Every structure is written in C-alpha cells, then in structure tokens.
Amino acid sequence: MILAQAMAKLRSCASNPEEIAAQGARLYTNSQADIRDWLWTFHEPKERVLSVSSTPTRVRDFPGRLWLLDDVTEEWRAQQARLRAEEALRLEQEKTERLLLNMLPQSVAKLLKQEARTIAEGYADATILFADIVDFTQLAERVSPEELIYLLNEIFSAFDQLTEKHGLEKIKTIGDAYMVAGGLPERTSDHAEAIAEMALDMREFIEDFNRRRDVSLRLRTGINTGPVVAGVIGTKKFHYDLWGDTVNTASRMESHGLPGHIHVTQATYERLHGKYAFTERGRIPIKGKGEMNTWLLEGRKN
C-alpha cells in the first residue's frame, strides 16, 4: 500500500515522463521484479491513471523510463496455461514412451516412432528359449484365481530380471510359457552362452521358489540356435515377434523335453559343449522334423 501511495503521489507531482521515470526507478531495487497484490496501469505520459489489482504482474525498469506493464493479468494467465499444457503433454509423452518400451525393444520402439513403415529384419544367428511351467494347470485347480496370478507374476517377474541380467530380449509369455531370445535386436556373438546361463538360472529360481512356497513346480525348457526373422506386427497393440524354422524347432525342444531339464538341439550343443556339461539324449522323433539328435544341458563345467 505504501508503494501504491508513493506512485500516486509521484504521478500527481511530476510534470514529464522523464522525471516520473527517474523518481519512480528509486522505488525499485531490481530491474525486474514480481509484484503481487498490485497491478499497475501506467500508459504514455498524458494518461494519469494508476490502478491496482490483486493478481501478480511483472514490473520492468527500462533505461530512461519506467514502464508498469498494462494487461499483464491476461498475459500472465495465458502464460501459466501454456506452461500447464506443455507439462501435461510432456507427462503424456513419457507415459506413452514407457508403455511402448514395455511392448517393444528400445531400438525397435525408436525406429517405429521415426518411420511409419513395416519393421522386419533378418538375423543370421540367434538363440531362442522356450520354457513351460509343468504341473501349473494342476496348481491352478488348488488355489484361488488371485493367488494363481500372484504366483505366476512372481515367477515371470523373476524371469524378466534374469533377462535383463543376461542382456537378452523377452519376446512374450503364452499362458504359463515364457519365450526369450539372444542375439537380437542388438547382434551379439555370445547369445548361446547368455541363453544357457538364463536357462540354468531359471531352473535354480524354480527350485528356490518351490522351497519357499512349498510347491513342486518344474520347468521344461527348449533351446535352439540359428537364423530368424524379427518384426513388429499389429496396428492397435504392437507386438515384437520372431518367425522361422529356428523358432519352431526351439518350441519343439520344449514340448518334447523332460520336466526339470533343458533340452537343446545339436546346433546349440556345438556352440556350448566347451563350457557346459551335457548328457546326450540321442536321436528322438520330433513332430514336423523327423528324428533329431538332441542333448540335455546339465550345468557349467568346473
């Protein structure tokens, strides 16, 4: 109020804009300040109106004259509205980004945002793992739906962490089955070893899970190595998936495998036998493939 009275007195006494500017400038210590509770209306010199308002405004001290900006109330409100809109847009973009990264690999999501085209790429060498939880259907009959989902989420969340640990790419879950790949979308040379470590860690986790939960679940795991095609399908719910004989054979290794064991093809065995211990299963009939020589991955070599 003191400042308002001082400015009103100044207006009534001063004879020209230069004098007003010189004397008014002494009332301010900053070249730019926020004045709350007062909105000053100070037009070109002939107008002698000083009005006050209860909304914030900006005051600027220009060399040679003092301007108390008019119409700042609407300008300030518009600016605040723009800032709120920009912040809301930024938060929505971040949310969309997180959702997209939950569905797609980061490099694929980035490509999809940049180019509106079909995304497909061939990989000459990759390793695929399928794992199915044996006896899960029987467990589902003994527990409530809520508890069933809780247990499944605990298992798959642990598998997700192992995927991150070994630098692999989770492809999808199908019911109580889990699919993961190595060597894509970023090409690596150690994808077979990374998948082997993943499979052993998954088996170890299930054994610990059984002890903690007093259940008797087992994993049946299948692995194969070879060329695949990867791409994004769908227009509403994007999905990154894999195709090719390598994928089909990895699935067959799982379905023709043994509970509690890691069943691998000859191609995967040849990549790993120097570092890991195997038991030869021999030639067995595989649906759609005929007889194949397969192996059981037992563990790491000492």
Q: Give yes or no for a contact between 226 and 126, defined as CB atoms under 8 angstroms apart.
A: yes
Q: Pick the catalytic residue from 61, 132, 171, 206.
A: 132
- 3-state SS of 243-260 is ECHHHHHHHHHHHCCCCC
Q: Are strands 276-286 and 169-174 parallel, antiparallel or unpaired?
A: unpaired
Supply 67's token pair: 């301007």
The answer to whether residue 132 is catalytic is yes
Instruction: Pick the closest to residue 111 from 187, 171, 185 (CA basis).
Output: 185
Q: Pick the catalytic residue from 133, 155, 206, 262.
A: 133
The answer to whether residue 155 is catalytic is no
Buried b (16+ CB within 10 A) or exposed e, 44-70: eeeeeebeeeeebbebebeeeebebbb
What single-letter DSSP state applies at residue 186? S
Dist. CA 38–CA 52, nearest whole Å? 5
The answer to whether residue 174 is catalytic is no
Phi, psi angles (nearest 5°) of residue 295: -135, 155
Q: Pick the catalytic residue from 61, 125, 128, 176.
A: 176
Helix axes 145-165, 191-213, angle to 10 degrees: 150
Q: Give yes or no for a contact between 108 and 240, defined as CB atoms under 8 angstroms apart.
A: yes
Could you check whether the bond before residue 185 is cis, i.e. omega within 30 degrees of 0?
Answer: yes
Dist. CA 264–CA 48, nearest whole Å? 92
Supply 123's token pair: 């990989």
List, in sequence order, the alpha helices (H) in 2-142. Answer: 2-13, 17-25, 72-103, 106-114, 136-140
Active site residues: 132-133, 176
